[in-house]
Amino acid sequence: MTTRSRSRLSLALDILNHGGLLIVALIFLFPFFWMVSNAVRSNAEVLAIPVRILPNAFEWDNFAKAWTQLPFGRFFLNSLFISTSVTIITVIVSCLSGYAFARLKFPGREALLMAYLGTLMVPAIMLIIPLFLIVNSLGMVNTFQGVILPVAFGTFGAFLMRQFFLSIPMELEEAARIDGASRLRILLSIIVPLSMPAIGLLSLFTFIGQWNNFLWPLIVMTGSENATLPVGLTYFQTQAGTQWNFIMAGAALSMLPGIVLAILLQKLIYSSIALNAGMGGR
Amino acid sequence: MAAIDQATELAAKPRARWGNRLERAEARTAFFFLLPGLIGMVLFLVVPIIASVVLSFTNWKLLGTPEFVGISNYLRLFTADPQFWPVLRNTLFFTAEYLVLNIVISLGLAVWISSLKMGQRWFRVVFFLPTFTPGIAVAIVWMLIFAPGGFFDFIMGALSIQIPSMLTDQTLAMQAVIIVSLWAGVGYNTVLFNAALDMVPQSYLEAARIDGANAWQRFWKIRLPLISPTLFFGTVMTAITSLQVFDQIYVMTRGGPGNATATLGYAIYQRGFQNFQMGYASTIAWVMFAMIMALTALQFWLQRKWVHYDN
């Protein structure tokens, strides 16, 4: 074989390699396409046999109808409020605890940190029953505080922030300390602005985790008006005469924030997962 | 002089640890910084864990007063409950098949992506997308795909494959749940393994190529051993989450048909929040926790045989 034909062969293999994965990726994306394609057709067309890949008539206003009539709009706002609140509390609490663990000396620091790490091993589903009983005894069933507070104090954030704070040079805050700034001031005006990558990461994963959370809001939000989007989606699923087109529109709405964030913040997500890959099993 | 210095230093040492005023002030600051997190952790983590143990020895049904019943919940679970063993079997079956397929598929995709000359990050995003979407929405979309006369049946018909409806068939229903879980779950491990592959030094692969190792050998002898710590991490995390599977089953099958897809996670929900047997449901939760611990311990034991750490 000449060098030229060999390089031509390797180019052909390269194209085949990319094309092959492209086909796999397109097949993988099919459920997203199917969701949108069924969201914008009439319900009769969703149930038509044989199936139609594309609707005969596009009904784009199904999204608006699903938002107002079902009411996925209300569920969307409930989800947004709950996820945002949990994220804000988690970030504040994690920064405070993380700073104490990273920079302040106090008796029992290492032991407490180990206790924080230990709680990460407890699977969420284990706590569902006692948490519900606590929320019940506080009279917070079917309230936003009932759904928000029990999930807003995860210990992972404190550990994440501690790790990041440790990487910030001590000298940066020493000058401020000599000037007599309080620890809270130092945290707010020096440490936090430098920690935006870690805070962003914590916010992103907390927000998405809560946005996608199902079992906890399902149990606490007993009234349909307070349901989150995932819980709301299941309300219409078993009723006779299921409006599949609206449900698909609702499903698309619920997926939108995650998809947008996954695309926009792909570098942040990749670098955080790469960090896991680098530390894996060590 | 030096001796005196040493003596005063020694005398001061015990006090210097937490005694002096500045350090006490620092510890006080730390206390206030930790307080919000501590209150939350005690109230929503420590108390629930303890309550869960206690509950598992009672017959509390939400209303009425709980009664201490000793180990009778555990006895009933293992000896009298006709649903427990099928549920346990379903959970282990799901975990085994899902875990193996997830790791094989995500590793395959990760290797494939890393072989590309361009577009790596876009392929990563594509496979990662479902990871960031609600499992409930994913399951609902797949329900429509699997619905009788739906897209899945259409494809099977086009391939002239005779197959009963996935979600109502005793054996196929679990396969449908696994397919959906894989679609929703392979993305994270794909990105994780892909990131690990990216960290394998090119010089190692180059050296092996010069020594005449083909792509197959380079994968098994160099890349796989080097990413084995990450592979191990991914396997442990995936096993822990798959033992808790709930969302897909709640939407797609409600544990049915019969109890063909009822898993431990679903059983906890059913006993706790449909039958309000809080005590009994807590017992199942502890069995699940024991299984998670056992499986994790098993994997840590096995890792000595296949995980390669370079120091």
Question: Helix count (H) and strand count (E) of chain B?
Answer: 15, 0
Residues within 8 A of B (CB atoms), A 187-246 only: 208, 211-212, 214-215, 218-219, 229-231, 233-234, 237, 244
Q: Quick one: A99 and A183 in the same domain?
A: yes
Cα torsion B138, B141, B146, B152 to 10°: value is -100
Q: Is A255 on the interface with B (CB under 8 A)?
A: yes
Q: Quick one: A140 and A36 in the same domain?
A: no
Residues of A with Cβ-Cβ distance to B138 under 8 angstroms: 31
Percentage of chain B lying above the pLDDT 70 cut: 93
Instruction: Say how far apart CA A222 and CA B42 lie, in whole Å.
Output: 26
What pLDDT score does A122 carry?
Answer: 84
In terms of Cβ atoms closer than 10 Å to its own Cβ (0-12, 13-18, 19+), residue A144 is: middle
- The nearest alpha carbon in chain A to B28 belongs to A106
Residues of B with Cβ-Cβ distance to A112 under 8 angstroms: 34
State the average pLDDT over residues B22-28. 86
Residue A151 domain-assigned (yes or no)? yes
In CATH, B77-306 is 2.40.370.10? no
Radius of gyration of the CA atoms of chain A, in A: 25
User: Do A269 and B121 make contact, defined as CB atoms within 8 angstroms?
Assistant: no
User: Do A230 and B272 make contact, defined as CB atoms within 8 angstroms?
Assistant: no
Instruction: Say how far apart CA A154 and CA B43 lie, in whole Å.
Output: 11
User: Do B229 and A281 make contact, defined as CB atoms within 8 angstroms?
Assistant: yes
User: Do B134 and A212 make contact, defined as CB atoms within 8 angstroms?
Assistant: yes
Residue A261 domain-assigned (yes or no)? no
pLDDT tens digit at each of 282 positions of chain A: 566 777 888 888 889 999 999 999 999 999 999 999 999 998 888 888 888 889 888 989 889 888 887 788 999 999 999 999 999 999 999 999 999 999 999 999 999 999 888 888 888 888 999 999 999 999 999 999 999 999 999 889 999 999 999 988 888 888 888 888 889 999 999 999 999 999 999 999 999 999 999 999 999 998 888 999 999 998 876 655 678 889 999 999 999 999 999 999 999 999 888 887 776 543
Residue A59 domain-assigned (yes or no)? no
The ipTM, to two decimals, is 0.90
What lies within 8 Å, CB to CB, of B246 at 6+ separation is A125, A214, A215, B263, B265, B266, B269
pTM: 0.89
Instruction: Say how far apart CA B130 and CA A105 lie, in whole Å.
Output: 43
Q: Quick one: A42 and A81 in the same domain?
A: no
Distance from CA of A43 to the nearest CA of B (A): 12
Q: Quick one: A83 and A41 in the same domain?
A: no
Last residue of a domain, one of A170, A197, A224: A197
Q: Where are the domains of chain B?
A: 14-73, 77-306
User: Do A255 and B47 make contact, defined as CB atoms within 8 angstroms?
Assistant: no
Q: Compute the Cα dihedral for B62, B64, B65, B67 and give only its sign.
A: negative
Phi, psi at B63, each rounded to 5°: -95, 150
The CATH code of the domain that includes A187 is 1.10.3720.10
Nearest to A19 by CA among B187, B103, B117: B117
Residues of A with Cβ-Cβ distance to B139 under 8 angstroms: none
Q: Quick one: A111 and A182 in the same domain?
A: yes
What pLDDT score does B310 carry?
Answer: 65
Residue A116 domain-assigned (yes or no)? yes
Q: Quick one: A161 and A93 in the same domain?
A: yes
Q: Into how many domains does chain A fold?
A: 2
State the average pLDDT over residues B202-217. 87
Residues of B with Cβ-Cβ distance to A21 under 8 angstroms: 112-113, 116, 123
Instruction: Say how far apart CA A80 and CA A101 lie, in whole Å.
Output: 31
Q: Compute the Cα dihedral for A46, A52, A54, A57 and give only its sign.
A: negative
Nearest to A140 by CA among A203, A64, A210, A219: A219
Rounded to 10°, the helix B120-128/A3-39 angle is 30
Residues of A with Cβ-Cβ distance to B46 under 8 angstroms: 119
Residues A107-163: tens digit of each pLDDT: 999 999 998 888 888 888 889 999 999 999 999 999 999 999 999 998 899 999 999
Q: Quick one: A187 and A104 in the same domain?
A: yes
Q: Quick one: A27 and A113 in the same domain?
A: no
Last residue of a domain, one of A168, A197, A226: A197
Residues of A with Cβ-Cβ distance to B118 under 8 angstroms: 18
Range of the domain at A172: 77-197
When CB atoms are compared, the residue of A233, A269, A278 closest to B137 is A233
